[in-house]
Structure 1
C-alpha cells in the first residue's frame, strides 16, 4: 500500500482538494480561477515527479485521469444544464479504457483506424493530438471565462478572438468525441466477443 503515499499520488490528492475548493468557489472567479489553474498545473507536476522519482504506478495513472474527469465534469455540469452528458461520456470512456486496457491505455491503440492512431500517437504529443487535448481540457475553462466575461475584462480579448478560440477548441473537442465514440464501441465489441468465447467454452 506504500504506492498510496508516492509523491505523485500525494500531488493527486492535493489536486482533488483544489477541484472541490474550486467547485465551491465557482461563482467567484477571482477565487475559482487560481484554484482550478493550480490543479491543472499540478497535473503536469505529478507526471514529472513520477518519472523523476521512479514512482510510476497503475494507481497513479488511474488517479490522474480520475482527477482530470472530476475537474472537467464539475465545470461542464456548472456551465450548462446538459453539461452532465459530457461528463458522463468522459467517465464512460474512462471505464472502457481502464477496464480493458489498464494503465497502458494510451499506447494500446495500434489496431485502431489511422485517424484515431494519429490522435493518440506519441501520447498525444503531435499537433493533432495537442489540438484534441486542448479541446478536451481547455474548452470548459474557456467557456467559463466567456460566461463570466473574463476574456474581455481580464485579458482584453476582442470578441472576434474569443469566437475564434471557441471554434478552435470546440473543433478539438469534437475530434476528441470521435476517439471517445471509437473507444466505447471497441469496448462493447470486446465485451460481446468475450461473452461469446465464454459460451463456446
Structure 2
C-alpha cells in the first residue's frame, strides 16, 4: 500500500511548496517571474483536490497539508505587501486551528451560523457568493501585488480604473471571508468556554 506521503496529491503539494519558496527570491527583483511561479502553484492547488478524488487518494493529512500550503503562500504575500499584513496571515492561521479542531468535515459542520456565513459556505462554497468569497481570499493579495509592482498597468496595460475596480471587487469578497473567519473563531471560543459558564 502506498504511503500517504507519496500520494499524488501530496506530491503536488511538495511541488507547490517548492514553487512558493522559489517565488520568494523574485518578489523584489522580477514581478513577472514571481507572479508566474505563484500562479503555477495556485493552478496546482486546483488540480490536487480533483486528483485526490479521482485516484481515491484523499486523506486527513492531504486535507491538512493543502490548507497549510495555502496559508503559507498567502501569508508570505500579505506580510511582504504591507507592514500590517501579518494580521491577515495570523487570522488565517487562527481560523485554521479553529476549523481543523472540528475535523476534516469542518466545511459541512452543523454549527449554528449567521445567515451570511451559511450562504457563503452553502454547497461547500460552490455557489456564486461562495466563489466570490474564495476569489477575494485567494486573488486579492496577488492582484494587489500586480497593481503595486506595475505588472497590471505597465506590462498587461490594464486601465487604472479596472485595477481599482478589481481591488474593490476582491476586497468585498475578502470581507465576506473575514465574516466566515470571525464566525469560526468566535464559535471556537464559545466551544472552549462552554464548561466555564455552567
TM-score, structure 2 as length reference: 0.95
Q: Distance in 1 between matches of 2:193 and 2:24?
A: 39
The equivalent of 2:161 in structure 1 is 160
Moved more, 103-112 or 3-12: 103-112
1:89 maps to which residue?
91
Residue in 1 that maps onto 2:67: 65
Higher helix share: 1
Gaps of 5+ in 1: none
Structure 1 runs of 4+ with >2 Å offset? none
What is the match of residue 48 of structure 2? 46
Partner of 1:178: 179
Gaps of 5+ in 2: none
The CA distance in 2 between the partners of 1:13 and 1:190, in whole Å, is 34
Distance of 1:110 and 1:185 partners within structure 2: 11
1:24 offset after TM fit, Å? 1.9
Q: Give 1:111 deviation, angstroms.
A: 2.5
Q: Distance in 2 between matches of 1:94 and 1:115?
A: 20
Aligned to 2:15: 14
SS of residue in 2 equivalent to 1:81: coil
Count of matched residue positions in the alignment of Structure 1 and Structure 2: 196
Alignment of 1:21-40 (within 5 A): 21-27=22-28, 28-40=30-42
The worse-fitting range, judged by mean Cα deviation, of 72-81 and 102-111 is: 102-111
Q: State yes or no: 1:78 paired with 2:77.
A: no
RMSD of aligned alpha carbons:
1.4
Report the Cα distance in structure 2 between the residues aligned to 1:109 and 1:62, rounded to whole angstroms: 20
Q: TM-score, normalised by structure 1?
A: 0.94
